[in-house]
Chains A and B, each alone.
Chain A
Amino acid sequence: GAVVSQHPSRVICKSGTSVKIECRSLDFQATTMFWYRQFPKKSLMLMATSNEGSKATYEQGVEKDKFLINHASLTLSTLTVTSAHPEDSSFYICSATKGLAGSYEQYFGPGTRLTVT
């Protein structure tokens, strides 16, 4: 199997606070993890690619100081939204591949719905 979990599934936070989202591969080692955000009725937008033990590669336009990504182990990556604002409210989804980024299938977590009030 290839199961990816995310925690929390939903979170509401106040503007100015920080929120951490965890992404775990439960039954495989994920060399590469990806973080996406998705606005209502829109497609997935890749935020960053994370390889275990190295710094994440951020997509153009994504603030790395605002969206902190840590991939400390082969089964865990975290995304921290710092100093959250209402415009950060979105559906955040992580995915993982079993090998390098060239591996053909990404396994998605169930997503985290972030609401910033």
Chain B
Amino acid sequence: GQNIDQPTEMTATEGAIVQINCTYQTSGFNGLFWYQQHAGEAPTFLSYNVLDGLEEKGRFSSFLSRSKGYSYLLLKELQMKDSASYLCAVKDSNYQLIWGAGTKLIIKP
């Protein structure tokens, strides 16, 4: 079957750096997405990786290794507003998005 694994919950301190990992086993691969979702709101797009390597976008970076079936989302200079769930999703060979359960990130002052 298809599977996406990410930690259920992480805690970090304001101003620090946190890395959220995601591993996947899917039938084919057509890209990996990271979305941010605040409680009670819809997800918002953060990043997209289809080739190996690091994509940097401001305080957020996303890394992909297709051979390892692995990605991470790196958040720098954490702010209280970064407290949210972070969803990893992979588009499989049928271009269907397979969603992880999400990682709840708690930021402490």
- List A residues at the B interface (Cβ < 8 Å): 34, 41-46, 49, 91, 93, 95, 100-102, 104-111, 113
Contact = CB atoms under 8 A, between A and B. Distances in A.
Q: Which secondary structure dominates where chain B touches chain A?
A: loop
A108 B46 CA distance: 12
A99 to B, nearest CB: 11
Interface stretch (B11-19, B69-77, B92-100): B92-100
Given A43-B87, A93-B42, A111-B41, A101 B48 contact: no
B48 A110 contact: no
Interface string B33-51: 1000000111111001010
Contacts of A34: 97
Contacts of B96: 46, 49, 101
Contacts, number: 47
Most-contacted residue by chain B among A42, A45, A108, A110 (CB, 10 A): A108
Interface residues of B, number: 21
Given A102-B30, A104-B31, A104-B91, A44 B99 contact: yes
A87 to B, nearest CB: 20
6 contacts: A42-B102, A44-B87, A104-B33, A104-B50, A110-B41, A111-B40
B84 interface: no
A108 to B, nearest CB: 4
B101 interface: yes
B45 A105 contact: yes
Contacts of A108: 42-44
Contacts of A104: 31, 33, 48, 50, 91
Given A104-B48, A104-B91, A43 B101 contact: yes
B31 A110 contact: no
Contacts of B30: 102
A101 B45 contact: no
Contacts of A45: 99
B66 to A, nearest CB: 16
